[in-house]
Amino acid sequence: MAANLTPQYLEAHKKLRTAVTPAEKIEIYEELLRLLPKHKATEKMVAQHRSMLAKLKEEMLKPSVSGKHGVGVSYLIEKTGAGQVILVGPPNSGKSSLIKALTGAEPEIGDYPFTTRMPAPYMMKFENIKIQLVDLPPITAEFLESWQIELIKVADAAVIVADASAPETPGLLEILFARLKDKRVEFVSESFLPPAEEAVRVFRKRSFLVAAKTDLDSGGENLEALKFFYEAQLPIVPISAETGDGLEPLRRRIFDLLQVIRVYSKPPGKKVDLNDPHVLRRGANVVDIARSVHKDFAEQLAYAKLWREGGYSGQMITRDQVLQDQDVVELHI
Ligand SMILES: Nc1nc2c(ncn2[C@@H]2O[C@H](COP(=O)(O)OP(=O)(O)OP(=O)(O)O)[C@@H](O)[C@H]2O)c(=O)[nH]1
Ligand SMILES: [Mg+2]
């Protein structure tokens, strides 16, 4: 065969037969791309794999009720706002109560496990933007559905919600983390450095651990236990949905977790609208904001000026100037 496909490639290709969901197929196509020898004879295959990947990724974001992926109803939730953050935790840990406190919505809340049976999106205001929070049914030793795993994989970040008033919480978290690790999903802090190479692909979600219901942990012993077991792995953020303690800093931490910045585009000679930021990934530069304002602006850009608190007040900047949260940029084309 001119393409000289390796046995590893052919082995990986076989897995496509049993793959059901878009996420599973994405995994396999990514592996195939890695394993495909790159030369003239395989160029077309590389292109085909890439376009298949793009299609699958698009498909994942679309909610589908047709059941065409063979898993019945698709529970995937379309992303809106500045980013999608999924709430993950054991039963009764306070996920829905936290969503209520942060968004003002009315998800079902109950003092029994599995109050939440279906995933649902809610919008949280953070200053001048909105962030999508996804409420997820709990994960236990007995209960972990494939659509829960898919939802976690596609989210931009995850917040683990644990009950800081219950002594059994560290044990429940251990089970939850182990079950997801088994499915190659891991929760890591923002400072986590992935290994250079890995035998299998691992889905790593940036996250932190919310220690909820601190109002019920009067001595603070349970919070101490949570810290003892998990602080090395994830930052721990204590809150109470009941009293409101810790909620305002939590909004900021959720925003930070998304690793995005807000940049304002100011039309030359006009005032800037500080209610309408462009949300860009951290590390974005002037070309990125230009492209976000208008698809042709990146090419047509002649020069730009920057306003930044404590630094710039309308100085000219280059196209590759890296921007920061709250920058104001004037684009000249
Ligand atoms: N005192 C106190 N109770 C809380 C707090 N947060 C949640 N609760 C209570 O804990 C119970 C469970 O809350 P939920 O928000 O339904 O928990 P959940 O994690 O969504 O539960 P599932 O959907 O079953 O996984 C309810 O009785 C809540 O009123 C809190 O901060 N303080
Ligand atoms: Mg719930």
pLDDT score, position 61: 59
225-272, pLDDT tens digit by residue?
Answer: 999 999 999 999 999 999 999 999 999 999 999 999 999 999 998 999
172-210 pLDDT per residue, tens: 999 999 999 999 999 999 999 988 888 888 999 999 999
CA of 116 to the centre of ligand 2 (A): 4
Q: Name the maximum alpha-carbon separation found in the chain.
A: 70
Q: What is the DSSP letter of 254?
A: H
Q: Which ligand is nearest to the CA of 243?
A: 1
Long-range contacts made by residues 189-195, C-beta under 8 angstroms, separation at least 24? 189/233, 189/234, 189/235, 190/256, 190/257, 190/259
The two beta strands, 120-126 and 129-135, are antiparallel
- The pLDDT-based confidence of 4 (bands split at 50, 70, 90) is confident
What pLDDT, in 10s, does the model give residues 81-132? Answer: 999 999 999 999 999 999 999 999 999 999 999 999 999 999 999 999 999 9
Closest residue by CA, ligand 1 atom 7: 94
Per-residue confidence band for 15, with pLDDT thresholds at 50, 70 and 90: confident
Question: E strands along 146-270, which residues?
Answer: 157-163, 185-188, 203-212, 236-238, 260-266
Mean pLDDT of 319-332: 96
Angle between helices 7-14 and 22-35 (to 10 degrees): 170
Q: Ligand 1 pocket, 110 CB below 6 A?
A: yes
CA dihedral 186, 188, 194, 200 (to 10 degrees): 0
- Looking from the CA of residue 112, the nearest atom of ligand 1 is 24
Q: Residue 70: is its pLDDT beyond 70? A: no
Q: Are 207 and 192 in contact (CB under 8 A)?
A: no
- Candidates 3.40.1190.20, 1.20.120.850, 3.40.50.300, 3.40.30.10; correct CATH number of 84-258? 3.40.50.300
Q: What is the reported pTM?
A: 0.81
Domain ranges of the chain: 7-61, 84-258, 260-332
* Residue nearest to ligand 1 atom 11, measured at CA: 111
Encoded tokens for 140: 């236990």
Pick the CATH number of 260-332 from 3.20.20.140, 3.10.20.30, 3.30.70.260, 1.10.1660.10: 3.10.20.30
Q: CA 224 → CA 231, 300, 302, distances in Å?
A: 10, 56, 56
Q: Could you tell me if the CB of 238 is within 6 A of ligand 1?
A: no
The average pLDDT across 155-161 equals 97
Measured CA to CA, the distance from residue 328 to residue 62 in angstroms comes to: 33
Residue 67 pLDDT: 40
Task: Supply the residue whose CA is at minimum distance from atom 26 of ligand 1.
Answer: 111
Q: What is the DSSP string of 76-108?
A: -----TT-EEEEE-STTSSHHHHHHHHH-----
Residue 1 pLDDT level (bands cut at 50, 70, 90): low
Q: Is 212 in the pocket of ligand 1 (CB under 6 A)?
A: yes
User: Mean pLDDT of all residues in the chain?
Assistant: 91
Residue 283 has pLDDT above 90, yes or no: yes
Average pLDDT over residues 5-25: 79
Residue 278 has pLDDT above 90, yes or no: yes
User: Residue 72 has what pLDDT?
Assistant: 46
pLDDT band at 80 (very low <50, low <70, confident <90, very high): very high
What span, in angstroms and rounded, lies between the C-alpha atoms of 39 and 58?
A: 28
Kindly tell me if the per-residue pLDDT of 315 is higher than 60. Answer: yes
CB-based contacts of 126-129 (< 8 A; 24+ apart in sequence): 126/82, 126/251, 126/252, 126/254, 126/255, 127/255, 128/262, 128/274, 128/275, 128/276, 128/277, 129/81, 129/82, 129/255, 129/262, 129/277, 129/279
